[in-house]
Amino acid sequence: MIHCSYNSLLMGQIIQPDWDMFQSDHECAKFHAGSRAICGGPVYVSDSVGSHDFDLIKKLVFPDDTVPKCIYFPLPTRDCLFRSPLFDQKTVLKIWNFNKYGGVIGAFNCQGAGWDPKGKKFRGFPECYKAISCTVHVTEVEWDQKKEAEHMGKAEEYVVYLNQAEVLHLMTPVSEPLQLTIQPSTFELYNFVPVEKLGSGNIKFAPIGLTNMFNSGGTIQELEYIEKDVKVKVKGGGRFLAYSTQSPKKFQLNGSDAAFQWLPDCKLTLNLAWIKENGGVSDLAIFF
């Protein structure tokens, strides 16, 4: 994973870096799957026949074999450069990328295993295998690196969704960073979505995407704001989540009224089914 991220730094300007395969039934499979989810490239596994964790694979891949890819190649955040996320007992590997309507940072505790130059083999370093604390901030996503993402870096406010913890936070470019302690061989994916003010500005809204997918933001295919209304195209089946400061007056799914849930903590949710005839894409219309 670490080698893949630094290879992206070196080679991403000329090719789409490949993040290699992993085994879905390995004890660290989820750890590796989290990084592949935001790698911006293809996802593939090297499983033995009959040795698959399909529940894990479904968090990466749609039923039609496509993936909710990021639109850029992943890069380590600047505070990870010239550090040792394997052996220094203090550095969490953080990787950022873009989705079409937001950014994402993956934080991975890779400490504790790697190449031993003396023994000339890979081995564990138990003194490094421990929980590590780090900070994450929206400004670590380098929005100006891609023209299509540059405008998102100018937002006044962002909603931050932690994919593994399943919690929402609000952040501005001048907010204090989020603090996190990550256990060995675990990770967190931070989705940053610009908050839009609807109507006269008393309603705030931001779509997160499908929370059952590792790259939640990658499931948002299209997004349009029309005064106090929102239109969203979402690919995939599962639990759609949006940040909304008010409950909608009406929610339509593929042209028909749909039952939704809105909670005072500003979580707006709706369950979506995979409809093969629509290519798995659901049309959502939200009216305030």
3-state SS, the chain, equals CHHHHHHHHHHCCCCCCCCCCECCCCCCHHHHHHHHHCCCCCCCECCCCCCCCHHHHCCCCCCCCCCCCCCCCCEECHHHCCCCCCCCCCCCEEEEEEECCEEEEEEECCCCEEEECCCCEEEECHHHCCCEEEEECHHHCCHHHCHHHHHHHHCCCEEEEECCCCEEEEECCCCCCEEEEECCCCEEEEEEEECEEECCCCEEEEEEEECCCCCHHHHEEEEEEECCEEEEEEECCEEEEEEECCCCCEEEECCEECCCEECCCCEEEEEECCCHHHCCEEEEEEEC
Q: Is residue 224 part of a domain?
A: yes
Residue 203 lies in a domain: yes
**The CATH number of the domain where 217 resides is what?**
2.60.40
> How many domains is the chain partitioned into structurally?
1
The dihedral through the CA atoms of 229, 249, 261, 205 has a sign that is positive
> What angle (nearest 5°) sits at the alpha carbon of residue 128, between those of residues 183 and 37?
45
Overall residue count recorded for the chain in this entry: 288
Is the distance from CB of 209 to CB of 222 less than 8 angstroms?
Answer: no
CA quadruple 248, 254, 259, 260: dihedral sign: negative
Domain housing 214: 198-288
Please state, in angstroms and rounded to a whole number, the distance separating the CA atoms of residues 207 and 14. 32
Q: For the whole model, what pTM was predicted?
A: 0.94
Query: Which of these, 120, 88, 112, 104, lies nearest to 217 by C-alpha position?
Result: 104
Work out the angle at residue 40's Cα, subtended by the Cα atoms of residues 107 and 26, and round it to the nearest 5 degrees: 60
| R_g over Cα of the chain | 19
Residue 236 in any domain: the answer is yes
Could you tell me if residue 119 is inside a domain?
no
**Is residue 183, in this structure, part of any structural domain at all?**
no
Residue 232 belongs to a domain: yes
Q: Is residue 191 part of a domain?
A: no
* 42, part of any domain: no
Write out the chain's pLDDT in tens, 288 residues: 888 888 898 888 888 888 889 999 998 999 999 999 999 998 989 999 999 999 999 999 999 999 999 999 999 999 999 998 988 999 999 999 999 999 999 999 999 877 777 888 888 888 888 999 999 999 999 999 999 999 999 999 999 999 999 999 999 999 999 999 999 999 999 999 999 999 888 999 999 999 999 999 999 999 999 999 999 999 999 999 999 999 999 999 999 999 999 999 999 999 999 999 999 999 999 999
Tokens of 64: 């039609």
